[in-house]
Amino acid sequence: MTMSRRNALAALAALTTSACTKLAFLAVNLPASLGAYQRHTDLAYGDDPQQRLDVYVPEGKPVRLRPMVVFFYGGRWETGSRSDYRFVGAALASLGYVAVLPDYRHYPQVKMPGFMADAAQAVDWACEHAADFSADATQFHLMGHSAGAHIAALVALDQRYLAATGRPRPAIAGVIGLSGPYDFLPLDDADLQDMFGPPALYPASQPINFVRPDAPPMLLIQGLDDKQVWPKNSINLAAALEAQGVAVTLKLYPGLTHADTVAALSIPARGRAPVLADVQSFVSPPSTVAEDQPTFSRQQSS
């Protein structure tokens, strides 16, 4: 093993076992910087400095319009930067998708619904500009990790946020959630109580409370060793979606921690779990699968 490879794996361990340090992000992003894509940076979807996004477009002229995936990063709704997740944009571009990675305002600058309004505005921008990047607005997916998975799910399920943009709501083809909090009451921590409060508003923060029969299909990926967001969040949301007849695939991976599900999209950690293949199967299912075939599956993978 080369020294650079060893250093990358050591930094990746820091990413997946403790805080998401700049060193860890540097390690996972270095290989991604060599991908075959064009990165359009610092595009504004609003007036605030945090309301900026990057777009990753696969190189080459497409035979047909490409699917588009909007990815929201995590960080307890308090921290994070789109520039730290270049490896996600590169991974999605490697599948032939146009990837949009927005920043959004964090707590305490805003409380809910401030960051949710930002997310809806970013989604609206992405849909409005899909054709600029040879993307197919009818193959429009939302994706997120941790708090970002919460944001993606709630934007898709609570229709008020996209309706507030004042334009027709985009047809969301699917939602991909990695280690997301979807059913996390009661709120015991003071910052979360303030962020989502007052208490009368707590239920509005829970994606599971907005499940409806016409919700978009969902792929929920969860590590069973996650001690930050309990697996019950994904399990409960999958059950609620299934009860409403919504197509949902639940992937439960033993041995994966909270950050592992997103780290597995990076080149150094793709052997940990087939998350990238899961995403590809969800966004671009094999044409041999009948459209009316039931798509709910509860899978525990070794």
What is the tens place of the pLDDT at every residue in 27-73?
A: 788 777 778 899 999 999 999 999 999 999 999 988 899 999 999 99
Does residue 289 surpass a pLDDT of 50?
A: no
Residue 104 gets the label, from left (phi > 0), alpha (psi -120 to 50) or beta, of beta
pLDDT in tens, 230-268: 999 999 999 999 999 999 999 999 999 999 999 999 999
Q: Which CATH number goes with the domain that contains 189?
A: 3.40.50.1820
Does residue 299 surpass a pLDDT of 60?
A: no
Residue 120 gets the label, from left (phi > 0), alpha (psi -120 to 50) or beta, of alpha
Residue 70: inside a domain = yes
Angle at which helix 86-94 crosses helix 275-283, to 10 degrees, equals: 50
> Exposure of 243 by Cβ count < 10 A (0-12 exposed, 13-18 middle, 19+ buried)?
exposed
Residue 132: inside a domain = yes
Residue 28: inside a domain = no
pLDDT in tens, 77-97: 999 999 999 999 999 999 999
Eight-class DSSP state of 132: G
- Alpha-carbon span 105 to 97, nearest angstrom: 26
Q: DSSP letter string over 8-26?
A: HHHHHHHHHHS---HHHHH
Total count of domains within the chain: 1
Mean pLDDT score, 272-286 = 94
> Which of 288, 289, 259, 287 has the alpha carbon at shortest distance from 275?
259
Mean pLDDT score, 135-155 = 96
Q: Which residue has the higher pLDDT, 287 or 278?
A: 278
Mean pLDDT score, 116-143 = 96
Residue 7: inside a domain = no
Whole-number pLDDT of residue 292? 36
Residue 98: inside a domain = yes
Q: Which of 156-160, 165-169, 270-274 has the lowest mean pLDDT?
A: 165-169
Residue 32: inside a domain = no
* pLDDT class of 2 with cuts at 50, 70, 90: very low
Does residue 15 surpass a pLDDT of 90?
A: no
Residue 141: inside a domain = yes
Whole-number pLDDT of residue 33? 75
Residue 26: inside a domain = no
Per-residue b or e along 120-139, where b marks 16 or more CB atoms closer than 10 Å to that residue's CB = bbbbbbbbebbeebebbbeb
Whole-number pLDDT of residue 31? 79
Structural domain span for residue 110: 38-287+294-300
Whole-number pLDDT of residue 238? 98
